[in-house]
Structures are given as C-alpha cells and as structure tokens.
Amino acid sequence: RYLDGGGFLEEMEQSVRLLKTDENFRRLFFVPGKIEQLSSIVEEMRDFLSQEEKIVEGKAGFFSTAKMETINSRLVTLRDIIWAAERDVLWNVGRIVELSGAVRAGEVSPQSLKKYKKLNFLLNSLDRLEVRGRDSAGLQIAFALAESAADRILDILAENGLTEEFAGRKRGGDLVNGSISASTVQHSRSAGESGAFLSFSYKTSSIVGELGLNGANLRKIIRGDRVFQALAECEDVFDTACLHTRWASVGSITE
C-alpha cells in the first residue's frame, strides 16, 4: 500500500514517532513481548522493501520517468521509516539495557529507565558531536530523591555491599572520575519534605583522542558502576544530566 499515496506512509511515520514518546517507549521495556513484536514487524518490512527494490529494478523499463520518480521517492520514505524504527527505537532499547548492566529490558526498573535513557541520549549526542576525535569528555547526572527513598539509602548500599565504596567515592575535593556528591535537601518548605541530593561524575581522557573513544569509555564506566545501579532504582523527584567534550587547550590532560 505504500504506492497508494503519501497518506499511508505518513501514518507509518507517525506510528514510529509515537514509539519514541515516554509512555510507549516504557511499554517496550515493561510489557512482555513488545520488543519481539516490533522486531518481527521491522524484519518483515525490511524483507518487503528488499523484494520491492528488486522488482522495481527489474521492471524499471516498463514505467515512465515520472512514475519511477514517485516509486523511488516512496521507497526511500519506506526505508527511512524502517531505519527509524530499527535505529531510533530498537537500537536504543539495546543500548539502554547494556548501559544499565542488565541482560534484558524487563530487568531495568521504571526509575532506572528514566535515568539511563537520559544518559544514553547524552552519549548518543556525544558520538554525533565528535566528528573528529577529542582527548577528553565528562558527564554528570544528578537527582533528588524522595524522602521515602532517601531514608533507605544506607540500607540499599549495605544490602548490596557498597557502603565502603560509596563512602570512598564521596570524599571532598576536586571531582574526578567516579566522584559522588551527596547532601540533604528540602524539596518543599510548606510541606516540610526533605530528601537526599546525589550526583555522579564520570570522566575519561586520552593523549590521542580517537573517534568514538570517549563515548565508549564513558559507557563502560557507567555500565560497571554498581553504586549508581543500586541508587538509580530509588524514586526521585527531579533529575538532570550534562556532558562536555573538549580538546586540551594547553596540551595537558589532568583528571
């Protein structure tokens, strides 16, 4: 039906865009079978596109130039739709699962998903930004925990055997790779609600900045951070993240 007119393809494009919304993206993680269903549909579409392209190539002489332009234009649109579903949706699901240290999507908790999705977005942006190698990059994510979650921080760390590591990483001084900042905050003066504010800093550097190296290194560091994995599951009332990349202006790299 892709040849029937632009309306059908526009509906398909809209369907893929809707998959990227927060609610539908979460459904891929938490509704059993959704990822497999989407993967199957994408595979069928890819096979269909391949067959159509072969048919068009073999029958090109039977169509006028104007009709061929229309057919090719719609094939390109169909290819873009498949690419968006495969790359923008399914590929990012896999990247988030890997970044979280989980084996499958269902193992990522709703609270963790929100944070890892944001980190994955920033790291994807880093890869797009670095059109040439950069020698260093840094990323920080910070979130304020709800009071109920803040009260359980020490218990969560103890349950996972992470109390000593957490204490060592939140020492004062300059922020280095793996640094944790922790403080008590008041979320609502009128209600007297308070909680904990946590921030995690990640840094990477190299003498010769190879293309894609910073993003790969930061992903590896975050994936191996058991403290962040444990606390990312806590309910939060606010979270934010930022990232930077640079060349060392004086030829010197420090942590």
User: How confident is the model over 177-204, as a mean pLDDT?
Assistant: 78
pLDDT score, position 8: 85
How many CB atoms neighbour CB 203 within 10 A? Answer: 20
Per-residue pLDDT tens over the stretch 90-115: 999 999 999 999 999 999 999 999 99
Q: How confident is the model at residue 38 (pLDDT cuts 50, 70, 90)?
A: very high
Q: How confident is the model at residue 133 (pLDDT cuts 50, 70, 90)?
A: low
Per-residue pLDDT tens over the stretch 201-238: 999 988 776 788 899 999 999 999 999 999 999 989 88
pLDDT score, position 210: 77
Please say if the pLDDT value at position 176 is more than 60.
Answer: yes
Per-residue pLDDT tens over the stretch 16-33: 999 999 999 999 999 999
Q: Which two tokens stand for residue 31?
A: 């509704």
How many CB atoms neighbour CB 153 within 10 A? Answer: 19
Alpha carbons 239 and 236: distance in angstroms, whole number: 7
Q: Which two tokens stand for residue 145?
A: 């925990």
Q: Looking at 54-58, 79-83, 192-196, which range is the least confident one? A: 192-196
Task: Determine whether 117 is exposed, middle or buried from the number of CB atoms within 10 Å of its CB (0-12, 13-18, 19+).
Answer: buried
Please give the share of the chain, as a percent, with pLDDT higher than 90. 62
pLDDT score, position 189: 46
Please say if the pLDDT value at position 188 is more than 60.
Answer: no
**What's the predicted TM-score (pTM) here?**
0.87
Please give the share of the chain, as a percent, with pLDDT higher than 70. 89
pLDDT score, position 254: 56
Mean pLDDT estimate for the chain: 88
Count CA within 13 A, CB hemisphere, residue 9.
Answer: 17
